[in-house]
Amino acid sequence: MSEFDIDHYRVRPGQKLDLSALDTRDTPFWDPKDKDGGRAHLSELNERLEALQELLWAQGRERVLVVIQAMDAGGKDGTVRHVFEGVNPTGVRVASFKRPTDKELAHDYLWRIHAKVPGNGELVVFNRSHYEDVLVVRVMELVAEKRWRKRYDQIVAFEQMLADEGTTIIKLFLHISKDEQRERLQARLDEPDKNWKFEQGDLVPRARWKQYQEAFEEALSNTSTEDAPWYVIPADRKWYRNLAVSEILIQTLEGLNMTFPKAAEGLEDVVIPE
């Protein structure tokens, strides 16, 4: 297998995207026939991520923010479950952003977001994010275009501020096909254990698939920066999606060159009493 090149998935600043031209079943860095091998490899990656997160927490200096966006049934929850398996929940937090409450709507759209960003040593995953404010808000016309259009620049500035203040930002778009979404939504109807996940409301964005894809294309293109890059992950095959996301997190965290804090002076003479 070739080395997993995460840059392959990275959106370059200003890069124009045509999501329909990107194969959602693509597996360039793993043999698609070797799904079992891929799953076994994920266990190894889980251990590496666990070790890196321990280091992040022990060192207590870096902050890491992972933003996940996708169409409904795109695999946001599954990604969190599988990629972070085994990671120590201390120091890791998931923030899910739903339809804003009245109180949230009474503030600017970044108000609820800023309150959840990681502190020192923390790794925070955003399951949906401020990007909803240029996605669902745009497609469903929840605010005027004049207002949401300014948000691309505002988001870039906000994220740049976080990065300048010491936050490492990774943004992941889980890219599924419309057919894959149909299968997954249908499974939510057919399998009793999955019924709870089905929301009739999910059929509305599905009916506006093309507008959503355009909204994603523009959002990713306008807000992928050197310090807060977007990655487009082919996500129809869940096992490959998990590998890609794990590799992106691991390679980014390794790039921080973190070290465990030095032991306090004089520890070599300390003896634990009986």
By CB under 6 A, name the binding residues for ligand AMP: 97-100, 128, 132-133, 136-137
Residue nearest to ligand AMP (CB): 132
Q: What count of other Cβ atoms lies within 10 Å of the Cβ of residue 204?
A: 13
- Dmax (CA) for the chain in angstroms is 71
Q: Tell me the backbone φ, ψ of residue 26, rounded to 5 degrees.
A: -65, 140
CA distance 26 to 138: 29
In the complex, the smallest distance separating the C-beta of residue 199 from ligand AMP, rounded to whole angstroms, is: 6
CA distance 6 to 17: 17
In the complex, the smallest distance separating the C-beta of residue 172 from ligand AMP, rounded to whole angstroms, is: 15
In the complex, the smallest distance separating the C-beta of residue 60 from ligand AMP, rounded to whole angstroms, is: 31
In the complex, the smallest distance separating the C-beta of residue 185 from ligand AMP, rounded to whole angstroms, is: 12
CA distance 178 to 187: 14
In the complex, the smallest distance separating the C-beta of residue 106 from ligand AMP, rounded to whole angstroms, is: 13
Write the CA distances from 28 to 9, 48, 79, integer angstroms: 11, 22, 19
In the complex, the smallest distance separating the C-beta of residue 145 from ligand AMP, rounded to whole angstroms, is: 15
Closer by beta carbon to ligand AMP, 133 or else 247:
133
Closer by beta carbon to ligand AMP, 34 or else 104:
104
CA-closest candidate to residue 70, choices 152, 131, 155, 141: 131
CB 229 within 8 A of CB 171: yes
Closer by beta carbon to ligand AMP, 133 or else 217:
133
Closer by beta carbon to ligand AMP, 200 or else 259:
200
Closer by beta carbon to ligand AMP, 62 or else 132:
132
Tell me the residue length of the chain.
Answer: 274
Q: What count of other Cβ atoms lies within 10 Å of the Cβ of residue 188?
A: 18
Closer by beta carbon to ligand AMP, 76 or else 241:
76
Task: Provide the terminal-to-terminal Cα distance of the chain, rounded to the nearest Å.
Answer: 53
Q: Count how many Cα atoms sit within 13 Å of the Cα of residue 69 in the half-sphere of its side chain.
A: 22
